[in-house]
Amino acid sequence: MTELAPQSHDVVVALDIGTTKVCCLAGRKNTHGKLEILGVGKVESIGVLRGVVSNIEKTVTAIREAVDICERQVRMKFNTVHVGIAGQHIKSLQHRGILTRESDHNEIARRDIDRLVNDMFKLVLPPGDKIIHVFPQEFTVDSEQGISDPIGMCGVRLEANFHIITGQITAVNNIFRCIEKAGLKVADLTLEPIASADAVLFEEEKQAGVALVDIGGGTTDITIFHEGIIRHTAVIPFGGNVITADIKEGCTVMQPQAEKLKIRFGSALASEVYDNRIITIPGLRGREHKEISEKNLARIIQARMEELLDYVLWEIRRSGYERKLIGGIVLTGGGALLNHADKLVELHTGMSCRIGLPVENLAHGYRESVSSPIFSTAIGLLLKGLQDIEAGNRSTANAAENTSANVDKEPSNVSEEKSPTWLDNVFRKTKEWFEAEPDMDFKK
């Protein structure tokens, strides 16, 4: 057996641990800055319930299988992975942070914003919760509000609104435990709807206002953007699996047959089914075949989809951005593959809708299979990993540049005279004026 080479520094590995599938993707950036997919490993997930690990051993087995498939395709041994997290335990909250700076003459720098962000991680949360992400929104410098980027400005009081995403510590720890038992390390943990948004949304949509609805197997994730900023996130604790369960009950068939009916013949809009074909399903041993009307199947699916969209609408209204979403709704995830799903969304919500495919950032000649909405989260995790690599390279380059500048600087025992600033000139002239005033009085 050929020994695999270790993971290259420019290759990123993403792991999407979902309710219905565990997906491993490996990729890197090509010379044109596009994402090149090197390997895809996808297996059935049997240890995850509603986005949360419910059986560690089964999840570890599925992770190892998916990673092995991907490793064989890439011919490389993986060490670290970028992982997504979801589930009904995910919550979001808004908080305001304040930083009082020592001087209003020094420009606001990145370290000031980092201090504000780090302070958010000290928030007191309900027992068992942990902060996963902190996203700055608008800043206020002294009395100037609505600033998107305060770096370079001067001011004493720096304030910011933050969108904070939390999750249960046990759910996070279980994911880390599964990854470690599979012989890997976690490079970063990202909320899955945030990753999906990076893969399928355009910057124009984020500026105009858009709601991303990712319908997975066990959960439906919602992310709302406006003016390029994350405004609201939510997780609805059911997804495509409840549709399969309804078909199983309504048509009195087995679970695998219900899933096949949904995928092959399902429609989210009963009015779009014109032929009303009869679908024949083989019965159990010694029993007669079952016949199901295609229109009745669509009615079952539509009823559950409408209930799901009611929850989505409630979350959009709760966010306060219902009338600001010019970009409407973008549908992704496995649930977006249902026939006429986008039409049902438009009819039920009154908003425009499109299906989000994760192809915008892919290099030319990508595999057709990875263009499916079911890979939106995994491709978003790859993009996040590549961003981290670029940020690390920039930090290393800046550090090297500063070190080089210090080394090149000639040592001198004579202190260098600094050029006077505008403020120094003001102080000097003021001092001269006060010192000259008594002399003028004396002359009088």
| Residue limits of CATH 3.30.1490.110 in the chain | 91-168
Our CA angle for 113, 115, 120, nearest 5°, is: 100
- Tell me the sheet residues that pair with 167: 130
| Distance from C-alpha of 112 to C-alpha of 184, rounded to nearest angstrom | 35
Closest C-alpha to 224, from 246, 245, 241, 208: 208
* C-alpha distances out from residue 248 to 8, 252, 260, 350, Å: 46, 5, 11, 30
Give the pLDDT of the chain (444 residues) as one tens digit per residue. 456 777 777 899 999 998 889 999 999 988 888 899 999 999 998 888 888 888 999 999 999 999 999 999 999 899 999 999 988 889 888 999 998 888 777 888 888 899 999 999 989 888 999 999 999 988 999 888 888 888 988 888 899 999 999 999 999 999 999 999 999 999 999 999 999 999 999 999 999 999 999 999 888 999 999 999 999 999 898 889 999 999 989 888 888 889 999 999 889 999 888 877 888 888 777 677 888 888 999 999 999 999 999 999 999 999 999 999 999 999 999 999 999 999 999 999 999 999 999 988 888 877 777 889 999 999 999 999 998 888 776 655 555 555 555 545 444 443 434 445 544 554 455 445 444 444 444 343
Q: For 203-356, CATH number?
A: 3.30.420.40
CA dihedral 85, 87, 91, 92 (to 10 degrees): 50
Q: For 91-168, CATH number?
A: 3.30.1490.110
Closest C-alpha to 301, from 329, 341, 332: 341
The model's pTM is: 0.82
| Residue limits of CATH 3.30.420.40 in the chain | 203-356
- What local confidence, expressed as pLDDT, does residue 22 receive? 92
Give start and end residues of each alpha helix (H) in 14-122: 56-74, 110-120
Count CB atoms within 10 A of the CB of residue 93: 12
- Tell me the sheet residues that pair with 290: 281
| Distance from C-alpha of 444 to C-alpha of 441, rounded to nearest angstrom | 5
